[in-house]
Structure 1
Amino acid sequence: MTYDEEIENTRNIYISKPIRCIALALALTYYFRLPTQDDNEQRRDNKTPTREKLAEILSQYISDFVFIIQNELERFVNTNHFMIPHSVAVNQAIREHIFSIVVCICTRTPLCIIGAPGQSKTLSFQIVLQNLQGSQLSTKKFCKRLPSIDPFFCLGSKYTRSEDIAYVFERAIKREQHYEQNRINTRCVVFLDEASLPDERKMVLKVLHPYLDECRVAFVAVANKAFDAANANRMVCIYRSLPSEEDQQVLAYGCLGLEINLQQSRYATTRLEKIISGLCQGYRRILTCPHIPQIFHDRDFIYMLRELRFDLPTTTTTSDDQTTAISGITPISLLHALEDNFNGIDKVEFKELVKIFFTSVQEQCSDFQLPLEEENHQIYRNIPSILRESMKLDSIRRRLYGRYKLIVDESEDESAMNLLLQLNILNFDPNRTNIFRMSDFAGDLNNELRNVEILSIIKLCMETGKTILMVNTGRIHGSLYDVFNQNFSIMATGDTRKIFSKVAIGPKTIDVVVHEDFQCIVHIKRSEFKEIPAPFLSRFQKYSLSINDFYNIQLQKLPQNEQILLKTIEQKASTFIQHFGRQYFYGFNENTLYSFLLSLIKANENGDHYLLSPNQYYSQLTIKSKSFIEQNPADINQCWLRSILSKLMQLVSPESIILKLPTFDGNMARWLCTNYFHQQEHFSIENFIQQLISKPLIDRDNSDLTEHITIVTKVMIFTRTSPYIIGLNEQSTDTLFTNYNNNEKIDLLNLVRVSLHIFSKKIECKVFQSLLATEKGT
């Protein structure tokens, strides 16, 4: 290995080449494979040998082994040899990755880089790809002497198959043979991104063995955990240790657009260094804090720093003036950056996270403090406000620090998605927003054609700049990892500029144009959160959205007297639930009561919020309860409370109501009994469905309610197992609904069985999924 300066300078001013080559070969094969001592301490690992221990042994035979390796890395990877983006810090990770990738591609040695999300693994390959363009197109003189790269991308996911990987390899081998026959100095490289995601139980990666043994094309894989021994022994493995404090400082300065040795005035330099040091220390503390969920990674920290950099004034160019601007990092700007990049947890946990960051900075800079919150001046923004502001970022800001959004829904019924639409965070206009849902029906789970169809529509949305909302789309997430990561290639000619990203459709990976205005929101349930792989989480700004939070936001927008009224109703309804027993309400959860209360709040055309009147709150299923609800129409408080209680009673079984009625006073028990047994349907599915899809019966006294009745179109029914229920899938609707003349309007879509624990006994239940009974064509 000879550098340009060595060619130009014939004097031997460096260590003899054989020693250097042996030391670098040992480093690639063994040294880089091991974690650092600091990494072991952070992970509390006392068994795995460290780099420091190996260096101590090797230094007995190669003096200054560590110095030789570090010196070569710094000489090899620098801005004189490679074009490196301004926002990328040339730290130890970047140096080791780029050096290893270049050497292994040139020698066709298989390589795997292993590390946590956000540690510049894929970024390093992108940098090498952009620099190694051959002798004619490479910008740097150093890269002109290296072969150009022809990449073949394969995006790993839990749905990746062995055939997909083999297909990519065979294409690369065929292309490599073409280059060799025509004596073209180009290396074909198979790049396997997210190599740890394919299902290990299916042994998907076993297909790599012959390709790694033959070394007919270069191979680079990036993963979050080590390969099995059979694959690892066939490759050079680079283990990416957690960054040291010094390396993290380099990263922070690079993300803020600063040189770490920048000359500044005494005060500004001191203050700036203290703030940056505090931010780095705060991030390291949250990674080990037992009270903070372990869902954050280096990418979250990097994007937080990028946001801080962008929010700072940069109108001047001199180093002193730039220093003054940078040192203007304010507590409020830090809080906003944390809200954007370290969210997705509950309020208590988030405030603990903020406290950790600010305490770390205050240890270095005591006057760095948030202002006190006042009743009319809230410091913390609510989630809808954060989302709305983030969605409205201009294309330049979005490209620098605005990641796509991951909505963690605290409910199990996609309520968060409806809230996004109600708040106008998402636009109803189909010309601006596309919503993608994937079902869990047996026929759809392995429907590859359906997956390709959805990906094709998403591809079109990316090209036209629409916003997409993805619900239950986990089966295609692996195809879009490069898009989620915003790994964009930019092609500029004159005044035109195009952005490209890669989308995997089956075994093929294609380049897709990405419009500047394209945005993506992915919806997942909190119950699914633990199953989401870390690489996926780190690609998004994460936000937790619950009905409870949204209700409290909407409550504050009501007039003061209506706020007091709703708080009273909430308190009394909670007392009723506690007295009756929460375990007796089927499907009851933390959001059930707040969902009822939220439905009472509406907004007019001017955006003013108000409370519905009781006669505006009926549906075809509740109109019979009007006499119970409005026994005293003048008492609005009582009307709303009874309306909520009537809805709660719909969730109770007959055994429960009989068991609990004696615990109420006479009048209350009588009212509940009448409402439950005479005004609601709890004994016949056929009668209930007839009531659901029939036109509501309005008597003369209630004729004025016709225009206020809401038509319910989606319900879930819990019922006991019985021969009638078991036979539902086997019978026709003609047989099931014998007393209904228009049974051709009824279509049975699907039935599933679930188990519930009621009365401390396990009860088998049937749940009608999706639209239980629907009028065909609606």
Structure 2
Amino acid sequence: MELPSGTATNRALTDNIFVLIACIINRIPVILCGKPGCSKTSSVQIVISNLKGKKSKNVYFQTLPELVPVSYQGSQNCTSDSIVKVFERADKYLKAKNETELLPVIVFDEIGLAELSAHNPLKVLHSELEVETCRHGFVGLSNWRLDASKMNRALYLACPDPDVNDLQLTAKTILKSMTSTHDQVARIDNKIIDSLAAAYFDLYEHIRVQTQYNNYFGLRNFYSLIKGVVRELMQCKENDNMYEKTRRQITVNFDGSFDGSHYMWKHFCQHLNAMYLYEQYKASPTFNQILDQCMSSRTGRYLMLIGENENVIDYAEHYILKKFQPPPVRTLIGSSFSGDLIEGAVYTEQYNYRVLMDIILYAETPVTLIMRRMGHLYDNLYDLFNQNFAVSGNKQFCRIPLGPLYHPRCLVHENFYCVVFARQQDLIKCDPPFLNRFEKHVINMESLVHRRHWTLASNLISWITKLLPTDINKLFPLPQHLFVDYSDDFICNLVIDACTHSEITIEDSLEYNDDDTNVVMSFCKKILLQTSSFDLPLIMSLKQSDESQALIDEYYEFHENVSFANLIEQALELEVIDNQVIY
């Protein structure tokens, strides 16, 4: 059997291939169930690419039918009608006349996601998967067990978790495939590869008992780590430190809300019998260094940037827009308009279709696509996020379901890159196969923001803190009670906006130029006053000071003139009207 270059014949792959051939040829429905990265999709692709009927290169395979894949991407939006259409499409191949016997194979990817659909689409499988009447090959791929009514109608194969030997074999196969065309094999020590595999296995065993992080890292993180380390070491110069590069790659692939990089690095050094390296490179690269490397190289997996709140995400997006163009950056944000929603967080089919078409068009171009608040569509994009593209004519293709019935092959430009923003509190809702497809990093604003901006933001936060009375209650008032959407990150964004509005660049010495500092602080205080709550004058009245009285007067002076009629009059007097949102 011919295997693609760089394919490791580990336990999971050989078991999957053996069962798939036996079940497909005998038209026995089979469901492969296992964690992301355990060779489910790869084994299906290998079997289909080898069984070509009389055109097969293997003599035995020439006696078997030619397999024709009928692919279907499961999602939480799919319906029963769409699955029925897949079986009807497979029936057409049975009626087709050909020199060799054709056997259509329905490949139902992410069948577990389809089970979560509100339309209950898998009920149509009950009659189609009866062994006595099954006319096609059927392969379902899932990351978790389905309910008993589906599992009882198919052969169920649970893909085993890899042991250390499997991990080392896979890692060495990746190393061999990447270095086969280079003269740098001797430079990469097998001890490094073996120690990385052993360290990952230790991490896997460590987080398996912690339910909140059980699926946060997976085999795709490990495979990406090995590829990144090999790529870095192949480019090493004589004076470069290979362990420094290895430490950076561990951080790139095992970072996030749960930082597994420190655990990995410690155990890597233990298995390498070089604990002195642990202290030497204990400090991991900063967030801005990692972001700069990922956005500049664009060779690894797509990025997931995790923020505590929308202010952090806003600034990270602004940073990317400002620093990493060209290539051009485009942003798609999930809609909150009632016309795009059916109810709650369920979007209309027209809206989903429109956004997916935008993504398909962007994927054909060398752009960086930023996606925010689009969780309702991410399961439609699993094949794109997987980056295991089908190649035809030196071009890359993936499948993106457009509605329940149409799953086209979409062109993906070789320089296309994707960044997904996610809020920390939303990660618990994300499926393991979605999380495992990305390099995950928590946004650290302090590493992105210029120190002068941070100095001004700290001064402004101190000013706000001094406004609060200290002899009332520890829990009231707090800054968030007085100012809408208050957070330290909001204050930092406000300072940056003030510098931009006042045309003061960070090259100007804000720390020593009192005039510029006063301009920025005055602008920020004015904006804060405009976004203050009704509690502000009440709280200010508790502190007898000239500054408190001045703030109270300014508050009432501003709010006295705030009305919709005044807003319209002021807007009509302007030559250029600013974008405004009116509640």
| TM bucket normalised to smaller | 0.7 to 0.9
Verify: 1:197 aligned to 2:113, yes or no. Answer: yes
Distance 1:652 1:664, change over 3 A: same
Q: Does residue 119 in structure 1 map to residue 38 in structure 2?
A: yes
- Out of 92-101 and 227-236, give the one that drifted further: 92-101
Match of 2:155 in 1: 236
Distance 2:208 2:555 in 1: 52
Quick one: which of 151, 176, 179 aligns to 2:94?
A: 176
What amino acid does structure 2 have at the position aligned with 1:693? A
Quote the offset at 1:673 in angstroms: 0.5
Correspondences of 1:245-394 after superposition (within 5 Å): 245-257=164-176, 273-288=194-209, 294-313=215-234, 330-345=242-257, 349-350=258-259, 353-367=260-274, 369=277, 372=280, 380-393=284-297
| Mapping 1:409-448, distance limit 5 Å | 409-412=307-310, 415-416=314-315, 418-427=317-326, 432-445=328-341, 446-448=347-349
1:98-247 matched pairs, under 5 angstroms: 98-136=17-55, 138-178=56-96, 182=98, 184-198=100-114, 199=116, 201-213=118-130, 214-247=133-166
| 8 Å Cα contact 2:395-2:411 kept in structure 1 | yes
Contact 1:304 1:341 in 2 (8 A): yes
Q: 2:435 aligns with which of 513, 537, 541?
A: 537
Matched with 1:571 is: 462
Closer/same/farther in 2, CA of residues 483 and 577 from structure 1, 3 Å limit: farther
Q: Is the contact between residue 367 and residue 415 of structure 2 (CA under 8 Å) also seen in structure 1?
A: yes
TM-score, normalised by the number of residues in structure 2:
0.84
C-alpha deviation, 1:296, in angstroms = 1.5
* 1:89–1:251 contact (8 Å) kept in structure 2: yes
Q: Distance in 2 between matches of 1:577 and 1:420?
A: 33
**Secondary structure, aligned partner of 1:90:** coil
Distance 1:684 1:517 in 2: 49
Local SS of the residue matching 1:159 = coil
| 1:591 is the counterpart of 2:509 | no
Deviation of the 1:191 alpha carbon: 0.9
Contact 1:283 1:301 (C-alpha < 8 Å) held by counterparts: no
Say if 1:540 and 1:639 are closer, same or farther in 2 by CA, change over 3 A: same
Maintained 8 Å contact 1:257/1:309 = no
Q: Deviations over 1:733-772 (max 9, x none)?
A: xxxxxxxxxxxxxxxxxxxxxxxxxxxxxxxxxxx3xxxx
Pick closer, same or farther for the CA change 1:552–1:359 going to 2, 3 Å.
closer
Q: Give 1:636 deviation, angstroms.
A: 5.9
By how many angstroms is 1:244 displaced?
Answer: 2.6
Does residue 546 of structure 2 align to residue 647 of structure 1? no
Superposition deviation, residue 96 in structure 1: 1.4
Q: Deviations over 1:242-266 (max 9, x none)?
A: 223333333333333389xxxx99x
Supply the distance in 2 between the matched residues of 1:594 and 1:474 (Cα, whole angstroms): 28
Q: Which residue of 2 aligns with 1:751?
A: none
**Highest CA radius of gyration, 1 or 2?**
1
TM-score, length of structure 1 as denominator length: 0.64
User: What SS does structure 2 have at the residue aligned with 1:257?
Assistant: helix
Closer/same/farther in 2, CA of residues 269 and 425 from structure 1, 3 Å limit: closer
* 2:181 aligned partner: none
Q: CA deviation at 1:372?
A: 4.9
CA drift at 1:225 = 1.2
- Shift in alpha-carbon separation, 1:439–1:291, aligned structure 2, 3 A: closer
Distance change (3 Å), C-alpha of 1:116 and 1:275: closer
Q: CA 1:610–1:637 in 2, change beyond 3 Å: closer, same or farther?
A: closer
Distance change >3 Å, CA 186–CA 543, structure 1 → 2: same
Task: Rate the CA distance shift 1:338–1:210 in 2: closer, same or farther, 3 A.
Answer: same
- Seen in structure 2, the aligned counterparts of structure 1 residues 672 and 120 have a Cα distance that, compared at 3 Å, is same
Residues of 2 paired with 1:461 and 1:150: CA distance? 30
Contact (CA 8 Å) 1:601, 1:611: kept in 2 or not?
no
Q: Distance in 2 between matches of 1:636 and 1:603?
A: 12
Deviation at 1:301, TM superposition (A): 1.4
> In structure 2, what is the equivalent of residue 660 of structure 1?
539
Q: Map residues 385-404 of structure 1 onto 2, 5 A cutoff.
A: 385-393=289-297, 398=299, 402-404=300-302
Hey, what does 2:479 align to over in structure 1? 582
C-alpha distance after superposition, 1:140-172 (max 9, x if no partner): 445434332211111111111111111111111
Question: Per the alignment, do residues 122 and 642 of structure 1 end up closer, same or farther by CA in structure 2, a change over 3 Å counting?
Answer: same
Distance 1:125 1:291, change over 3 A: closer
Quick check: 2:460–2:491 contact (8 Å CA) kept in 1? no
Q: Does 1:451 align with 2:369?
A: no
Q: Which residue of 2 aligns with 1:95?
A: 14
2:473 aligned partner: none
Root-mean-square deviation (CA, aligned residues, Å) is: 3.7
Q: Secondary structure at the match of 1:122?
A: helix
Unpaired segments of 5 or more residues in structure 1?
1-81, 316-324, 614-632, 697-705, 717-767, 769-778
Provide the rounded CA distance (Å) in 2 between the counterparts of 1:552 and 1:277: 32
Cα distance in 1, alignment partners of residues 169 and 85 from structure 2:
41
Give the partner amino acid of 2:82: D
| Cα distance in 2 between the residues matched to 1:530 and 1:130 | 37
1:127 & 1:158 partners in 2: Cα distance? Answer: 27
SS at match of 2:220: helix
Q: Is the 8 A contact 1:601 1:609 kept in 2?
A: no
Whether the aligned pair in 1 keeps the contact of 2:254 and 2:261 (CA below 8 Å) is no
Aligned residue pair count: 556
State, as a whole percentage, how many aligned pairs show the same letter: 24
- 2:579 matches 1:713: yes
User: Alpha carbons of 1:464 and 1:355: their partners in 2 closer, same or farther (altered >3 Å)?
Assistant: closer
Shift in Å, 1:123 = 1.8
